[in-house]
């Protein structure tokens, strides 16, 4: 498969994945664009990988995790308005919008590693080994990130705490 064809097929899913991961559609597009540029430069290695889609997801997650180290190069303002992420074919229900907004606010309180692990588990439905591969860490570390992240979310939900991004 050629890079252009692969990128065209994967772009919508990657941007949605990155939007959930980052909480900001503009940042998500930047992270995906950077990952695709790197993937194009290393296309032989990416195409030769056992699972090129997972390899590209790893590039997106790494870009997201390192974004904070490059914060001074960008002027990105996050927004709690996740309604922009909804697909046009999806009905616009007030409850869904409120839930999505609350979820984005809750995810924003987690560390980047916890957030990445939780998004990979529950949004992308990856198992511990696949998440460990994407995050380049041990399986036990993945379980720790997910456990601590979910624990933090449970505390916040249980307290009825309002989170402001």
Report the pLDDT value the prediction gives residue 117, as an integer from 0 to 100. Answer: 94
Domain final position from 71, 105, 132: 71
Q: Are residues 164 and 104 in the same domain?
A: yes
Q: Are residues 107 and 161 in the same domain?
A: yes
Q: With helix as H, strand as E and coil as C, how does the chain read?
A: CCHHHHHHHHHHHHHHHHHHHHCCHHHHHHHHHHHHHHHHHCHHHHHHCCCHHHHHHHHHHHHHHHHHHHHHHCCCCCCCCHHHHCCCCCCCCHHHHHHHHHHHHHHHCCCHHHHHHHHHHHCCCCCHHHHHHHHCCCHHHHHHHHHHHHHHHHHHHHHCCCCCC
pLDDT in tens, 121-158: 998 899 999 999 999 999 999 999 999 999 999 998 88
In a domain, residue 86? The reply is no
Q: Domain of 124?
A: 92-165
Q: Are residues 65 and 104 in the same domain?
A: no
Q: Are residues 103 and 158 in the same domain?
A: yes
Say how many domains are in the chain: 2
Output 62 or 89, whichever has higher pLDDT: 62
């Amino acid at each position: 498969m050629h890079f252009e064809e692969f990128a065209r097929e994967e772009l919508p899913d990657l941007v949605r994945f990155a939007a959930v991961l980052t909480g900001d559609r503009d940042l998500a597009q930047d992270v995906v664009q950077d990952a695709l540029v790197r993937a194009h430069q290393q296309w032989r290695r990416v195409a030769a990988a056992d699972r090129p889609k997972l390899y590209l997801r790893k590039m997106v997650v790494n870009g997201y995790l390192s974004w904070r180290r490059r914060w001074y190069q960008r002027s990105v303002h996050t927004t709690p308005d996740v309604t922009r992420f909804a697909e046009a074919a999806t009905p616009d229900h007030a409850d869904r919008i409120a839930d999505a907004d609350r979820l984005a606010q809750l995810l924003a309180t987690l560390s980047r590693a916890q957030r990445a692990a939780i998004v990979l588990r529950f949004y992308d439905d990856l198992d511990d080994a696949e998440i460990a591969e994407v995050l380049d860490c041990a399986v036990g570390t993945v379980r720790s990130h997910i456990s601590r992240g979910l624990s933090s979310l449970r505390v916040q939900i249980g307290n009825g705490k309002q989170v402001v991004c």
